[in-house]
Every structure is written in structure tokens, then in C-alpha cells.
Structure 1
Amino acid sequence: MTYETLLIDMDDRGVATLTLNRPEKHNAMSGQMIVELKAAAQALGADETVRVVVLTGAGKSFCAGGDLGWMQAQMAADAKTRFIEARKLAEALQALNTLPKPLIGRLQGNAFGGGVGLASVCDVAIGMDSLTMGLTETRLGLIPATIGPYVLSRMGEAMARRVFMSARLFGAAEAVTLGLLAKAVSSETLDAAVEAEVQPYLSCAPQAVARAKTLARTLGPRIDDAVIDHTIGELVACWEGQEAQDGIQAFFNKEKPSWAR
């Protein structure tokens, strides 16, 4: 498959690098990227030559979240279309979460909204010490719905509630405390820190790694079709609400929404 919004490179060890490739948009997830992320996860998962996957972003940012143009399109869509688009996002996240390979996140710049979700589906996420993160959806009258199960699984409810509703931005050091990042390192040592996470897997039996990952997910918080359907319903309900209409319109008009103080 040819990808318009992603790059995939693999070295001779079987380490594949999956790069979000919309640097001019800070790798915000468009409808096209969402579809391609699911396809890429499925392809990498089925490729027996792939031992480890590194997820990163081109340019200055890891991922700025959902593309606002994509979200604005949902405002004008009918309920059926909104549900279909929300399901595509949920399926992309679940495809990455269930990838039968180790998934190592390499984060730089910013990771907002859906970018935090992508970090949360990684088995290990390493970020630059200058990284800024935030679950910014409520500023737009939305909620972190489809990413919610993965964020809660990564942070736990108590930690998640510190940042899940407030849209507060936080740095890499706090992200480590919250459990989103395993480490925060300098830009000069980021690649070495990621390589240190990759290397041990190259000495492990690939099928055993896959089975161990599946077992860990089975023993962890439940993220099944019922949970995913619930998050889709919550997101669609927000898209249909007046707050989202007002919040996204205010953003595009460079104005404050009515609730901002």
C-alpha cells in the first residue's frame, strides 16, 4: 500500500519506523491519516520480518491531535457519517494497541489530544525533555473519548483525572510522573534512548513477545468492542452538541468561545 500521510522504513534488523508525515500540520490526524494508520498497523503486524516498530512524527511535533478541518467536517455531517468517522479513529487506535509487535514511541515537540492517545498505545514512550503534552479537547467543547480507554489504561484513573478534563498543558517531567512517558531525555540522546528500548527485543523470540503482549493486555483494563462503542457514542454526542459547534467555530474565527474566561 502507498501511504500519503505516513512513512515506513525498516532496517536490516527488522526494526520498522512508522512516521507520521504531515509536518506542516504538526502531524495532526486527518481522515486520510486515520485510515492509513489502521492499514499500516495491520500490515506491520502481519509482516513476519518486523521485530519492533518505532512510532514517531516528522518535523517539529509528534502529533498535534485531530485535524481541525476533519473535526469541522464532522460538524456538518449527518449522524451516520459522524459515527462512521469516529469508528475509523477508534479502529486505528485499537489496531495500534493490539499490534503483535513491541511499539516504541519517540516523541518530540508537542503531543496534544489524539497525540496523547498515540503515546498511550505504545508499549514504551520516550519523549524529549522539552515535550509539551495535553488533553486539550474540552477547550473545543469535545472530550477525549476514543483515546480515553488507552489513556486511562496507561495512567490509571487517579492520575488521568489530573489532566483528563482540564485541557491543562504539562511538560515531559510531569508526563513521566503521570505514566505517559517512561523517560524524558535531551534531544541529543533521544535516539539512543529509543534504541536502548529496541535492542532487548532483538534477543527475544518474536512469537513469545507477541503472546506476552497479548497476555498483558488481557490481564490489564478491558478494552473490548463494548468499551469502544461507548467511546464512539460519547464522541458523536459531543459532535452533535452546541458546545462543540461553538468551540470549533471560535477556534477558526480566532475568538474565545462563550465559556472561556
Structure 2
Amino acid sequence: MTDTTRVLLEVDDQGIAQLTLNRPEVHNAFDDDVINQLISCLKEVSDSTTVRALILRSNGKNFSAGADLAWMKRMAQNSHQENLEDAGRLAELMERLNSLNKPTIGLVQGAAYGGAVGLAACCDIVIASAEAQFCLSEVKIGLIPAVISPYVVRAIGERQSRRYFLTAEPFSAEQACDFGLVHEVVATSELLSDAAARFTKQLRKNSPQGMHAAKELIFAVSSKVIDPAVIDDTAQRIADIRVSAEGQEGLSAFLEKRKPNWIQE
């Protein structure tokens, strides 16, 4: 039976969704049930016409200890095919979070181990408490950070990955910020209040369509050679959005010195 209290999804009247890991008794470790619930919640957020941004967070002392021990024990007893299917669901979770059509903010406190580093790497903006600690710990138990690797390597680069994938040593929030995994480090007391509110306030000023298109633009040009195909694609994208409803509204509001209609304040 699915326990719907392990993952919580709430949307406030400003259109800010909070997706919360709620297993503090096991340091918010995740298993196949939690992964499936997270995927379901991300689908709901993606389909929503009222959600403006998503905050990914957790209750308790730690963001997430990564994979649940009981789940890992169960997976070790399963067949190769069952393990492949199970890994596919985790891969789906990472890709859904990474490509979500809304801005995402990750709030990290305490420990973020294993797959939890992947969750952070898939968020658009990550804020960590000063006491947060990250670790790609998989090799300690004979495994590898496989399905999270595309996102983590993209976030921290190949050079840091070659160290931390192999050593499994923890690194601090400040180091994570230097590596590019984290954008800001704040006091724990500010994490769920001032820091999150500051970013959501900024995001709510922006065109929902514009932010979605900007995110797709990043994926379209990242690591690409600037060749005629890329140049033509970027020209097509700006032309498309200029004549769109929100593009027209935004330009009109700017010229008329008024707020665009997506700002409801």
C-alpha cells in the first residue's frame, strides 16, 4: 500500500508548489515507492496551469540520505531485469525534475548523499544551509552514481567528478557552491523562509512561458558548437516568442510602463 504521507505536495495561493520528502525518521531516504510518488507529483506540477514554480525540500535534519537501506537490500536480491526496470524509474525521476516546465528551487539542509546529490543537480536553483554536506558515496558499497551522473557531471564538471565519484569523500556547502552545484549558502534559519521567499518573489515577476522557453533554450545550446544550425535555431526561438501572446503582452507592458498580466500583486 502506498503511504501518501512520505511525499507531500502543496500549492499556495501564489502558485508556488512545495514538494517535500517527509521521512525524517530515516533521514528522508528514498525507495521505489517514494520515487514513484515523486514522479506522480512532478507530472501533476507539470500539467498544472496555476503552478508558477516548484520548491523541492525535506522535513527534518537532513535533506536526504539517498537510497533506503531496505530498498537496496531488496534490489540486491532481484534479477538483472528487475534492477534495470527499477533504475529506469529513478532515471525517469531525475529527467522529469531536470526538464520540468516550471522553475525549480532545491533547498538542502544537513546531509545530501548519493541520489540526493542528483536531485539537487536537477534543480534550476539550489540553496544550501551552511551546515549542509554532500557526498557521492556509492563506491563505498561497490556501486556507482550511474543514473544521476549526467546531471551531476554537468553541474560540477568532469574534473571534480573524477575526484568525488572515486573518493566518496564528503564536501561542504561552500565547496558545492564553488563547484557550481549550489548557488547560495545561507544560515539554516533562513533556508525555508527568507532565501526561498526571495527567489519565488523574483520568479513570480517573470513570464511563465518565457521562463519555460529560457530553460529549453539552455538545453538547446549547452555544449553545442556555435554553428549555423544553432544560430538559426536561436533566431527561430526569439521570433516565435516575440509573436506569442505572452511575448506581445510583455513588450506592450514594458512600452506602456505597466505591469504585465502575469503579475497579480
Using structure 2 for the length normalisation, give the TM-score: 0.81
Q: Mark the CA change 1:2 to 1:69 in structure 2 (over 3 Å): closer, same or farther.
A: closer
The CA deviation at 1:3 is 3.0
Note if contact 1:53-1:102 (Cα within 8 Å) is conserved in structure 2: yes
Structure 2 equivalent of residue 219 of structure 1: 221
Letter in 2 for 1:204: N
Structure 2 equivalent of residue 98 of structure 1: 99
Note if contact 1:160-1:178 (Cα within 8 Å) is conserved in structure 2: no
The CA deviation at 1:176 is 0.7
Q: Within 5 Å, which residues of 2 pair with 1:1-261? A: 3-190=4-191, 191-220=193-222
Letter in 2 for 1:172: A
Q: Mark the CA change 1:150 to 1:130 in structure 2 (over 3 Å): closer, same or farther.
A: same
| Paired positions, count | 222
Q: Distance in 2 between matches of 1:3 and 1:122?
A: 23
Note if contact 1:53-1:101 (Cα within 8 Å) is conserved in structure 2: yes
The CA deviation at 1:197 is 1.7
The CA deviation at 1:2 is 8.2
Secondary structure in 1 matching 2:19: strand
- CA displacement, residues 144-169 of structure 1 (integer Å, 9 cap, x when unaligned): 10000010111111222231221101
The list of structure 1 runs, each at least 4 consecutive aligned residues, that deviate by more than 6 angstroms after superposition, is: none
Secondary structure in 2 matching 1:55: strand
Q: Which moved more, 1:111-120 or 1:205-214?
A: 205-214
Unaligned runs of 5+ in 2: 225-265
Q: Mark the CA change 1:221 to 1:43 in structure 2 (over 3 Å): closer, same or farther.
A: farther
Letter in 2 for 1:22: R
Percent identity of equivalent pairs: 37
The CA deviation at 1:220 is 2.4
- CA displacement, residues 125-149 of structure 1 (integer Å, 9 cap, x when unaligned): 0000001110000001000100000
Structure 2 equivalent of residue 239 of structure 1: none
Letter in 2 for 1:48: T
Bigger-Rg structure (1/2): 2
Secondary structure in 1 matching 2:8: strand
Q: Distance in 2 between matches of 1:72 and 1:192?
A: 40
Secondary structure in 2 matching 1:17: strand
Q: Distance in 2 between matches of 1:4 and 1:80?
A: 30
Q: Mark the CA change 1:98 to 1:9 in structure 2 (over 3 Å): closer, same or farther.
A: same
Q: Distance in 1 between matches of 2:25 and 2:221?
A: 40
Using structure 1 for the length normalisation, give the TM-score: 0.82
The CA deviation at 1:80 is 1.1
For the aligned residue pairs, the C-alpha RMSD in angstroms reads: 1.5
Secondary structure in 1 matching 2:164: coil
Note if contact 1:153-1:220 (Cα within 8 Å) is conserved in structure 2: no
Letter in 2 for 1:100: N
Q: Distance in 2 between matches of 1:195 and 1:166?
A: 36
The CA deviation at 1:221 is 5.4
Structure 2 equivalent of residue 227 of structure 1: none
Which structure carries more relative contact order (alpha carbon 8 Å, separation 6+)?
1
Unaligned runs of 5+ in 1: 223-261
The CA deviation at 1:111 is 0.2
Secondary structure in 1 matching 2:204: helix
Letter in 2 for 1:203: K
Q: Distance in 2 between matches of 1:43 and 1:96?
A: 12
